Chain A
Amino acid sequence: MCLGIPGKVVEIYEAYGTRMGKVDFSGIQKEVCLAYLPEIQVGDYTIIHVGFAITRLDETSALETLALFNQMGLLEEELLADKEGVT
Chain B
Amino acid sequence: MTNELDFEGWTCPAPLRSYPNVILGHGGGGKLSAELVEHLFVPAFRNDKLEALGDAAVFSLNGSRLAMSTDSFVVRPLFFPGGNIGDLAVNGTVNDISMSGARPLYLSAGFIIEEGLPMQTLAQIVDSMAAAAAKAGVTLITGDTKVVDKGHGDGVYINTSGIGLIPDGLEIGPDRARPGDVVILNGTIGDHGMAIMSVREGLAFESPIVSDTAALNGLIATMIQACPQIHVLRDPTRGGVASSLNEIAHSSGVGIILDEKKIPVHQSVHSACELLGMDPIYVANEGKLLAIVPAEQAETVTAVMRGHELGQDTAVIGQVVAEYPGLLVAKTGIGGTRVIPMQIGEQLPRIC
Contacts and interface: CB of A to CB of B under 8 A. Distances in A.
Direct contact of A and B (CB under 8 A): yes
Interface of A: 1-3, 5, 22, 25-30, 48-50
Interface string B164-185: 0000000000000000000000
Interface of B: 198, 205-209, 266-268, 270-272, 274-275, 277, 350-352
A25 B275 contact: yes
B267 A27 contact: yes
Contact of A28 (B275, B350, B351, B352): B275
A2 B351 contact: yes
B352 A3 contact: yes
A24 B277 CA distance: 16
Main secondary structure on chain A at its contact with chain B? strand
Contacts of B209: 28
A29 B351 contact: no
A3 B209 CA distance: 22
A27 to B, nearest CB: 3
20 contacts: A2-B352, A3-B277, A3-B350, A25-B272, A25-B274, A26-B267, A27-B208, A27-B267, A27-B268, A27-B271, A28-B198, A28-B205, A28-B206, A28-B271, A30-B205, A30-B206, A30-B275, A48-B275, A49-B351, A50-B351
Query: Which has the most chain B C-beta neighbours within 10 Å: A22, A28, A48, A50?
Result: A28
Q: What are the 3 tightest A-B residue pairs by CB atom distance, in nearest-first order? A: A27-B268, A28-B207, A29-B206
A29 B271 CA distance: 10
B207 A29 contact: yes
B272 to A, nearest CB: 5
A58 B209 CA distance: 30
A5 B274 contact: yes
B272 A28 contact: yes
A5 B275 CA distance: 6
Contact of B270 (A2, A26, A30): A26
Given A25-B271, A27-B207, A29-B205, 15 more contacts: A2-B352, A3-B351, A22-B206, A25-B275, A26-B267, A26-B268, A26-B271, A28-B198, A28-B207, A28-B272, A28-B275, A29-B206, A30-B205, A30-B206, A50-B351
Contacts of A29: 205-207
Contacts of B271: 25-28
B217 to A, nearest CB: 31
Contacts of B198: 28
B140 to A, nearest CB: 36
A48 B276 CA distance: 11
B271 to A, nearest CB: 4
Nearest to B208: A27
Nearest to A3: B277
Contacts of B274: 5, 25
Contacts of A28: 198, 205-209, 268, 271-272, 275
Contacts of B350: 3
Nearest to B204: A30
A49 B275 CA distance: 9
Nearest to B268: A27
Contacts of B352: 1-3
A29 B242 CA distance: 27
Contacts of B266: 27
Nearest to A27: B268
A2 B350 CA distance: 9
Query: Which has the most chain B C-beta neighbours within 10 Å: A26, A27, A29?
Result: A27
B310 to A, nearest CB: 22
Nearest to A28: B207
Contacts of B270: 26
Contacts of A1: 352
A30 B209 CA distance: 14
B45 to A, nearest CB: 43
Contacts of A50: 351
Contacts of A48: 275
A56 B227 CA distance: 54
